[in-house]
Structure 1
Amino acid sequence: MSLKATALPNPSVSQERPVTNDPVQGGRQFAFLLVDKFSMFSLAAAIDTFRSANRLLGRDFYGWTTVSADGDPVMASNGLPLKIDYSVADLPPVDILFVSVGLTTEFPGKSKVLAALRSWGRRGNALGALSVGSYLLAEAGQLDGYRCTIHWENRAGFVERFPDINCTGNVFEIDRKRYTCAGGTTSIDLMLEIVRGDFGSNLANGVANQFQHERIRSAGDRQRVGPERDLTGKSEKLRRIVELMADHLDEPLSAVQLAKSAGLSVRQVERLFLRHLNVTPGRYYMRLRLERARELLRQTNMPILDVAIATGFTSHSYFAQSYRLQFGRPPSEERRTTY
């Protein structure tokens, strides 16, 4: 769909309080700034939400376009090339400029992209990010003073690198003119919130039904992080203990403290873990700490000793030994690996 760079009149379509103050009657235009290895799934989920809304509306209310550093085609993480409509220098006015990157935030033309994001933000324009795209917004200084989110797998590295930014663990966040989501199916939820703000819940629900999207999540819904995938349908007390473990990776809690938090004895906690997860609490806790260490090694430049300390290890040698046992390689080799 071609982009129409037009001024938009005041809103009167929505029957509910809109999620933004942007006008909606004349149509809305979005741009997606892509770099090599971007997530095709996250992009398609976002765009198809607007396509389906247009279909149910019976008119092309939502428009979209693609952007890259130089206007050249980009390759998605699944190997598919994508034709690009504009370079960052030629992008006409749009309602929101979304950023989508891959697992690495280093790429050719990065300086141009960061400069464009800063310029866009200085002019008071709205910016958004799908998944790891929040990294680029943060690097460009466009999340300072804003609430945001990022995919759970990248959150630890993001928080270490940008400790002053309020990065939640929610599926998406809308904070004034900043729109961020965790990627994947949360791209649908974020775009449905925009649709809901423009036209109300009936249209948003209709789009969700087209996708067989069982439940539209709200900004307050938490992401299902790694450990929680093990806990679907499990004991509530088990879930509480695992959440407590995940919140105390740098200073691990004792078995007695964990048991007390759930109103159980140490032996009862052991039986709970063995029955539901087939592992002892100590081994499960160690796995969480080492998985966090791997995230930090892959996503930050923290010295290995600092990574060890940040995940509750007081001995570098014990950390290295535990890491090798868990992942089959030492931390130093993990740091050299590019993903």
Structure 2
Amino acid sequence: MKDQVEKISLGILIFPGFPMACLTSCIEPLRAANEISGQEAFSWHVIAEQDQPIQSSAGVTFFPDSTLADAQSLTHLLFASSPNSVFDNPSKANAALQRLMRNKTRIGAISGGVFPLARTRLTRDNPLSVHWCYEAAFQAEFPEIPIHGTVICEEGAFSTISGASAVFDHMLALIEKRLGGDVMAEVACWFQHPFIRSGTVTQKVPAISTAQSQDLLPKQVAKAIQHFAEHIGNPIQISEVADAVGLSARSLERSFKKATGHSPLTYYRRMRMNQARQLVLYTNDPIAEVAYMVGYATPSAFMRHYRETFGVTPISDRRAKNSMRVGSDDVLPSG
């Protein structure tokens, strides 16, 4: 075990409707590391823009330790929020963030927190990790920012983390750096964290309507899905995809049915609908524009397929999401 080390101070900047799992995945491994090592190697602070209680997406209320304007001497500051979160006073918040960055605080975000971070414009064109379920909405709002599909992206002055489990991995990396591999391994075992991922690991994405992730599908089926993903806005013919993966259209049909239970065409349409739903729920883009963005020539066909897929119209779906707001923000998955 290492001798006494300089304390690492982590701030978690929370917004109304933030995913609670992201907060606990930051704090619990650091608490355990302190206990195991017998040192106060880490401290943590819950921070908010205003000095008032903040309700999480689970409905649990948290009282911040300090406001962003008063935050001092932080080694790291991570945004935890939904995609729709914004600062009440952006200019004052940006001034506080720039002050922290001048004092060597590393700024970052977890899951939906990447949206308010990007809205500060402090990241400029720095690559960021974006959770797969928010990629379409993020690209629509920030087309100039490169997206990394890894669980963690640490480039330039920013650390972006795709979700709550990835936060735990990131905290383990901080523990290893400050207290050594033995303490890090014991913390992981305390929580039965199954394995310790590098930040460069690609995010797992679920295969549609199967009990598998896409990386577990047969190679040629996975390649076909990748081609579909690259042609959401400009639809591609199934025969073209079959040629690209070295199969006949009939063989691709059989392989898809066996692996996913769906035809390639049905699977492709569901991919386009899932991306459309991100845009419906997490952007304010007009429904007609969403239809064009996922490759529909007319909104009427898009709306018909959307209702067939999700059982509601895009307009109704957006209204229902808005009715589930917590405070001024949205209820979202923990990522």
Moved more, 207-216 or 38-47: 207-216
- Cα contact 1:98–1:130 (8 A) shared by 2: yes
CA distance in 2, matches of 1:293, 1:243: 17
State the Cα distance separating 1:126 from its structure 2 match: 1.5
Match of 1:58 among 19, 26, 38: 38
Deviation string 1:1-42 (CA, Å, 9 cap, x unpaired) is: xxxxxxxxxxxx69xxxxxxxxx9321111111111111111
State the Cα distance separating 1:281 from its structure 2 match: 0.9
- Cα contact 1:69–1:110 (8 A) shared by 2: no
User: Which residue identity lines up with residue 270 of structure 1 in the other structure?
Assistant: E
- Within a 5 Å distance, the mapping from 1:223-302 to structure 2 comes to 223-227=203-207, 230=210, 231-232=212-213, 233-302=216-285
Which runs of no fewer than 5 residues in structure 1 stay unpaired? 1-12, 15-23
State the Cα distance separating 1:335 from its structure 2 match: 3.6
- Cα contact 2:69–2:93 (8 A) shared by 1: no
CA distance in 1, matches of 2:208, 2:173: 25
After TM superposition, the runs of 4+ consecutive aligned structure 1 residues lying more than 4 A away are: 106-112
| Alignment of 1:307 onto 2:290 | yes
Question: What is the CA RMSD across the aligned residues, in angstroms?
Answer: 2.3
TM-score (norm 2): 0.87
CA distance in 2, matches of 1:317, 1:134: 33
CA distance in 2, matches of 1:120, 1:297: 35
SS at match of 1:132: helix
SS at match of 1:218: coil
CA distance in 2, matches of 1:134, 1:309: 25
- RCO greater where, 1 or 2, for CA within 8 Å and sep 6 or more? 2
| Alignment of 1:30 onto 2:6 | no
User: Which residue identity lines up with residue 289 of structure 1 in the other structure?
Assistant: R
State the Cα distance separating 1:222 from its structure 2 match: 1.3
Identity of aligned residues (%): 28
State the Cα distance separating 1:201 from its structure 2 match: 3.5
CA distance in 2, matches of 1:82, 1:229: 36
- Cα contact 2:20–2:56 (8 A) shared by 1: yes
CA distance in 2, matches of 1:279, 1:296: 24
SS at match of 1:33: strand
User: Which residue identity lines up with residue 58 of structure 1 in the other structure?
Assistant: G
Moved more, 283-292 or 273-282: 273-282
Which runs of no fewer than 5 residues in structure 2 stay unpaired? 323-329, 331-335
SS at match of 2:36: helix
